[in-house]
A and B are shown apart, each in its own frame.
Chain A
Amino acid sequence: MGSLARYLVIRALAIIPTILILYTLVFIILRILPGDPILAVLGTKNIPPDQLENLRRMAGLDKPLYIQYFSYLFNFLRGDFGVTITFPSGVPISTYIAQRFPATLELAICGFIVSIVIGLGTGALAAVKKGTKIDGALKLYSILAYVTFIPLLGMVLQYIFGVYLKWLPIAQRIDPGLAPSSVTGLYVLDSLLTANWAALRSSVLHLILPSITLGIVLSGAYTRLLRNNMVEVLSSDFIRSYYSRGIRERKINWYALKNAFLPVVTYMGLQFAILLGGMVLTESTFSWPGMGTFIVERLDYRDYTSIQAAIIFFAFIVGLISLIVDAVYALLDPRIRY
Chain B
Amino acid sequence: MELSSSLFGKLLKRTRTAIPTGAMFNVGITIILAVLLMAVFAPLISPYDPTRATPDILKPPSSSHLMGTNQIGQDILSRVIYGSRIILMVVLSATIISMAVGIPLGIYSGFIGGRADRTLSMVMDSIYAFPSLILAIAIASVLGPSPLNTAISLAVVYIPTYYRMTRGQTLSLREQLFVEAARSMGAGKLYIMRKHILPNLLPTVLVVFTLSAADAIITEAGLSYLGLSVTPPTPDWGYDLRAGQGYFTTGYWWISFFPGLMITLLALGFALVGEAMGEKISIASK
A and B touch in the complex (CB under 8 A): yes
Chain A residues engaging chain B, CB cutoff 8 angstroms: 17-18, 21-22, 25-26, 29-30, 33-34, 37, 40-41, 43, 131-133, 135-136, 139-140, 143-144, 146-152, 155-156, 158-159, 162-163, 170, 224-225, 228-229, 231-232, 266-267, 269-270, 273-278, 280-281, 284-285, 295-296, 299-300, 307, 311, 314-315, 318, 322, 325-326
- 1/0 per residue, CB under 8 A from A, across B107-134: the answer is 0000000000000001101111111111
Are B1 and A266 in contact (CB-based, < 8 A)?
A: yes
Chain B residues engaging chain A, CB cutoff 8 angstroms: 1-3, 7, 11, 14-15, 17-19, 122-123, 125-134, 137-139, 141-144, 214, 217-219, 221-222, 225-228, 241-242, 245, 248-251, 253, 256-257, 260-261, 263-264, 267-268, 271-272, 275
User: A40: which of B17, B126, B143 is its contact (CB, 8 Å)?
Assistant: B143
Give the distance in Å from the alpha carbon of A228 to the alpha carbon of B279 in the complex.
13
User: A277: which of B134, B221, B253, B264 is its contact (CB, 8 Å)?
Assistant: B134
* Shortest Cβ-Cβ A-B pairs, 9 listed: A152-B260, A136-B18, A277-B133, A277-B131, A147-B267, A228-B14, A21-B126, A276-B131, A149-B263
Give the distance in Å from the alpha carbon of A18 to the alpha carbon of B124 in the complex.
10
Instruction: Name 15 A/B residue pairs within 8 A (Cβ), A-sorted.
Output: A25-B126, A25-B127, A29-B139, A34-B142, A149-B260, A152-B256, A159-B248, A163-B250, A224-B15, A225-B11, A269-B129, A270-B3, A273-B130, A280-B222, A281-B222
Are A281 and B260 in contact (CB-based, < 8 A)?
A: no
Q: A147-B218, A270-B7 are in contact. Are A326 and B1 (CB under 8 A)?
A: yes
Q: Which residue of B lies closest to A329 (CB)?
A: B1
Are B122 and A21 in contact (CB-based, < 8 A)?
A: yes
Give the distance in Å from the alpha carbon of A257 to the alpha carbon of B257 in the complex.
38
Q: Which residue of A lies closest to B222 (CB)?
A: A281
Give the distance in Å from the alpha carbon of A225 to the alpha carbon of B11 in the complex.
7
User: A152: which of B132, B137, B264 is its contact (CB, 8 Å)?
Assistant: B264
Are B134 and A136 in contact (CB-based, < 8 A)?
A: no
Q: Which residue of B lies closest to A171 (CB)?
A: B249
Within the complex, what minimum Cβ distance (angstroms) separates B71 from chain A? 16
Are B138 and A143 in contact (CB-based, < 8 A)?
A: no
Q: A143-B275, A266-B1, A307-B138 are in contact. Are A278 and B133 (CB under 8 A)?
A: yes
Are A159 and B143 in contact (CB-based, < 8 A)?
A: no
Give the distance in Å from the alpha carbon of A232 to the alpha carbon of B219 in the complex.
33
Are B249 and A30 in contact (CB-based, < 8 A)?
A: no
Q: A149-B260, A151-B241 are in contact. Are A143 and B271 (CB under 8 A)?
A: yes
User: B132: which of A158, A277, A299 is its contact (CB, 8 Å)?
Assistant: A277
Chain A residues with CB under 8 A of B267: 147, 149
Among B3, B14, B129, B245, chain A packs the most CB atoms within 10 A around the CB of B129
